[in-house]
Chain A
Amino acid sequence: MTRNIFQKWLRSDAGVAFLRENRFLTHDEESEGEKTFWEFLSCRGGGSQAALQVLVQKEDWEGLLRKVRILHAGFVAEQNRDPLYQRIRQVLQGADESYGYQPGRKYSWYGAAGSGAEEAEPFKSLIARGYIPSYPTIEPEAVKKEGGILLLASTFRGQLAAHFGKDYRIPLRCLSDYIRNGYDVGLVYGQEDMAKAGNSRFSSKKGDFVAPSVPQSGEDGEWRHPDKAKAQSRQQTASLLVATDTLRSAMNIQFDEEELAGFAGAVAHLLERENLLLLLCLRMFCELTMAQVARILGYAGASGVDAPLRRAQALIEQACSVHEGLGRDDLDDEMFVRFTGLLLEKCKEEDCSRNSQEKR
């Protein structure tokens, strides 16, 4: 693949300085996957080209740093998924324009370009609609090699066009399913890993796949918060969440008290700015009734407290949604109790105390 200006720059002294300064891997340590990240980024910004251009145009360097970091995190997470998919993407990314590779943040495609091009349905749906796949005879190793993958990509695209009468924009996932349907991919990529494609990890140096370094979770839902089960059924995020939660469970990572205290301080400030901290404290810490809280705060009746209390809860809920372990979908009871404790400690009002007369 011809290196573009950006790629060349990354390999220049200035580019190396940039990578080192920002704690991305240096050239010497750069893995195949890391190299691909810069290629991924230079090709339509990994789906965020316009957003990246805005940041550069507005000279928002903090914003650009954050954007590149999140793109990098997403890319690395993607790297840890299905190895066949990753290999297909790597090959098509470097292929000539006739293959029509189109990168996206979550999915990538090849085939017909332009957003008007019709997207091929999932492989199973294509079969259900009467498409019968046929396969060229190739060596087993070819499903991993550039030539083999390009041949299979062209064959699949051609077959779909012949059967359905249109040149589709084909999700790489669909091509991956086509290949898996026709060949024993596990022979080349590793049996066990192919069975658990969602949790596989890629070892670029050896060029094969090794088992995840953390224990697998047990039955579905074993380690999950009951409320999370449904949310995690969502196809597009499930495998990523599983990977993360499994890792956390295995490593038994505790929350960072200092970070949590800083976070609670910010939320307390948010509440204080709207005069809601005392109200919250009286209700939650002092455990006063709504009527008692209303009396202390000068409301005419208990119902007057209702709206500000709901506002306080909404502010807390939104803030907590950005904190791992405090959101509605990943609530960690222990962490939440500690958080509320830290939050209410910030209340310095005289009216709020265990000795409140109102409490009795």
Chain B
Amino acid sequence: MNISPMKNAWRHVFQERTCPPHAVLTDPGQAANVAEHRKSCPVCAMMKETKVDYELWKEFGKQLVAEWPAPGSPDVGSGQVWSLRRCKGGWDAGFRHINPPLVLVLEVFGDVDGIRVAQVFDEGLLAHEGDVELGHGLGLAESWNTYALDRNDLDLCFGQVDASTLEAVKAAGSGSVPELDEFPTIWHFRQLELEVGSFMAMDAMGRLMERHERNAVREEFADVGAVRAKVLAFDSRIRLGKAENGLEMVATAELPEELMLKAAAGEEGLCPFTVVSVGGTTNRCHGALAELLELDHRDTVIRVTGRIPEEYSEGLLFAWWRRSDVGLEEGMARFEPSEGIFSASFPGKSELDFELGEPVLLLVQIDDAHD
């Protein structure tokens, strides 16, 4: 039966956004999910099975893009159009495989390594009020569908729009929401685009919030003198050494014995660490023990994985690698409180660093109730 161009366009976008890509279709580990998708995808149900000659399409693709400028990875800036990393895609609860769209970078938030983006599509028949043509084969920006992402979510840059186009997108986004009652296909398309956007943003939101909290904690611990005063106001017996910032000072603090009750064991595979509370008039401190599950050195990177006791169901973890003759060097720490598992990595480390050094952990808990 005939299909109207607009319906055909909508059907295509529906597939583009929700049907599994080649890499997933051909992954044996995804076969069950793909089968489940095919059972319930309204578009797949209507499509006749097409045998695809991959070699021909591969060659076609290669020839098609041969003379186009190759995408690159420049410093991230406003006005650029990027693809998102493959890992941003995934299955939703209804077995739709949400595929990462192209995005236009509207703003860069340097403090949290974040960006605000507008989602991009290229199906002109579905364009409506609030969509801005970007030109240069980049598609149209959805000024009504903007969200925050992690800068690391970006994969490759496909072009840059000029300042006036960028402003046009921002201006269109501040306009009123158009009435779409008379355009049901556009309405459905936009609902799906918002769902895709929310899928992309959801995954990044936790990381951006954590970075924001980390920044706030670093700011709180920036003034060494003030931190020293607040820690000593909590317990004057705590011994604090010289340090570049309050975080390192507290991480290496020597606590009196009764504050170390939870960190008394000295067995191998256990790592005593300090837990500090912030937000009150004093900085409460006590010791705890982390279980080290893995500690290895590979390709100049030391990696530590471990478990934090269950009672610490929230907090931000900071990690350093310490060599007594070198001092502390901060690494990247990740802590998933719901699972109690943490990981830390320390790049640029030699075998000697690994043999002579040890990890130092600090768990910061935000608590403004204790005082």
Identify the A interface with B (CB < 8 A).
4-6, 9-10, 14-15, 17-18, 21-22, 41-42, 44-45, 47-70, 73-74, 77, 102, 104-107, 114-116, 230-231, 234, 236-237, 240-241, 244-245, 247-248, 251, 253-256, 259, 262-263, 265-267, 269-270, 273-274, 317-325, 327-330
Contacting pair B46 A262 (CB below 8 A) = yes
Contacting pair B42 A74 (CB below 8 A) = no
Which residue of chain A has the shortest Cβ distance to B156 in the bound complex? A57
Tell me the complex Cα distance, A53–B158, Å: 8
Scoring A53, A273, A323 by chain B CB atoms within 10 A of each residue's CB, the highest score goes to A53
Identify the B interface with A (CB < 8 A).
1-12, 14-16, 19, 21-23, 25, 39-46, 50, 52-54, 56-68, 71, 81, 83, 86, 94-95, 102, 120, 122-125, 127, 133-139, 156, 158-159, 161-165, 182-185, 188, 191-192
Contacting pair A324 B2 (CB below 8 A) = yes
Question: Chain A residues near B58 (CB, 8 Å)?
Answer: 59, 61
Which residue of chain B has the shortest Cβ distance to A315 in the bound complex? B94
- Min C-beta distance of A79 to chain B, whole Å: 12
Q: Given the known inter-chain contacts A54-B83, A105-B122, A237-B125, please indicate yes or no for A6 contacting B14, CB distance below 8 A.
A: no
Question: Chain B residues near A18 (CB, 8 Å)?
Answer: 56-57, 59-60
Which residue of chain A has the shortest Cβ distance to B12 in the bound complex? A70
Question: Chain A residues near B6 (CB, 8 Å)?
Answer: 237, 240-241
Tell me the complex Cα distance, A318–B41, Å: 11
Contacting pair A328 B124 (CB below 8 A) = no
Contacting pair A322 B10 (CB below 8 A) = yes
Contacting pair A259 B122 (CB below 8 A) = no
Contacting pair A5 B22 (CB below 8 A) = no
Question: Chain A residues near B61 (CB, 8 Å)?
Answer: 52, 55-56, 59, 61, 64
Contacting pair B53 A50 (CB below 8 A) = no
Tell me the complex Cα distance, A330–B136, Å: 34
Question: Chain A residues near B125 (CB, 8 Å)?
Answer: 74, 105-106, 236-237, 240
- Min C-beta distance of B8 to chain A, whole Å: 6
Interface residue from A5, A57, A321, A329 paired with B71 (Cβ < 8 Å): A57
9 contacts between A and B (CB under 8 A): A9-B63, A22-B56, A58-B86, A64-B57, A67-B12, A102-B135, A116-B163, A236-B127, A324-B3
Contacting pair A269 B39 (CB below 8 A) = yes
Ranked 10 nearest A-B pairs via Cβ: A49-B137, A105-B124, A44-B137, A266-B45, A56-B61, A115-B135, A106-B124, A328-B184, A50-B158, A319-B42
Q: Given the known inter-chain contacts A4-B67, A66-B15, please indicate yes or no for A247 contacting B10, CB distance below 8 A.
A: no
Q: Interface of chain A, helix or strand or loop or mixed?
A: helix
A-B Cβ contacts below 8 A, count: 245
Question: Chain A residues near B59 (CB, 8 Å)?
Answer: 9, 14, 18
Interface residue from A6, A234, A323 paired with B183 (Cβ < 8 Å): A234
- Min C-beta distance of A280 to chain B, whole Å: 15
Interface residue from B22, B120, B182 paired with A59 (Cβ < 8 Å): B22
Scoring B3, B19, B58, B94 by chain A CB atoms within 10 A of each residue's CB, the highest score goes to B3
Contacting pair A323 B46 (CB below 8 A) = yes
Interface residue from A47, A57, A247 paired with B2 (Cβ < 8 Å): A247
Question: Chain B residues near A65 (CB, 8 Å)?
Answer: 50, 52, 57
Tell me the complex Cα distance, A324–B46, Å: 11
Tell me the complex Cα distance, A107–B140, Å: 13
Tell me the complex Cα distance, A236–B10, Å: 15
Tell me the complex Cα distance, A62–B50, Å: 9
Question: Chain B residues near A320 (CB, 8 Å)?
Answer: 42
Contacting pair B23 A53 (CB below 8 A) = no
Q: Given the known inter-chain contacts A47-B124, A53-B158, A259-B46, please indicate yes or no for A244 contacting B5, CB distance below 8 A.
A: yes
- Min C-beta distance of A279 to chain B, whole Å: 17
- Min C-beta distance of A212 to chain B, whole Å: 14
Contacting pair B67 A104 (CB below 8 A) = no
Q: Given the known inter-chain contacts A115-B165, A231-B183, A324-B2, please indicate yes or no for A64 contacting B42, CB distance below 8 A.
A: no
Which residue of chain A has the shortest Cβ distance to B6 in the bound complex? A237
- Min C-beta distance of B103 to chain A, whole Å: 11
Question: Chain A residues near B159 (CB, 8 Å)?
Answer: 50
Contacting pair A74 B56 (CB below 8 A) = no
Which residue of chain B has the shortest Cβ distance to A264 in the bound complex? B45
Question: Chain B residues near A73 (CB, 8 Å)?
Answer: 5, 8
Which residue of chain A has the shortest Cβ distance to B81 in the bound complex? A50
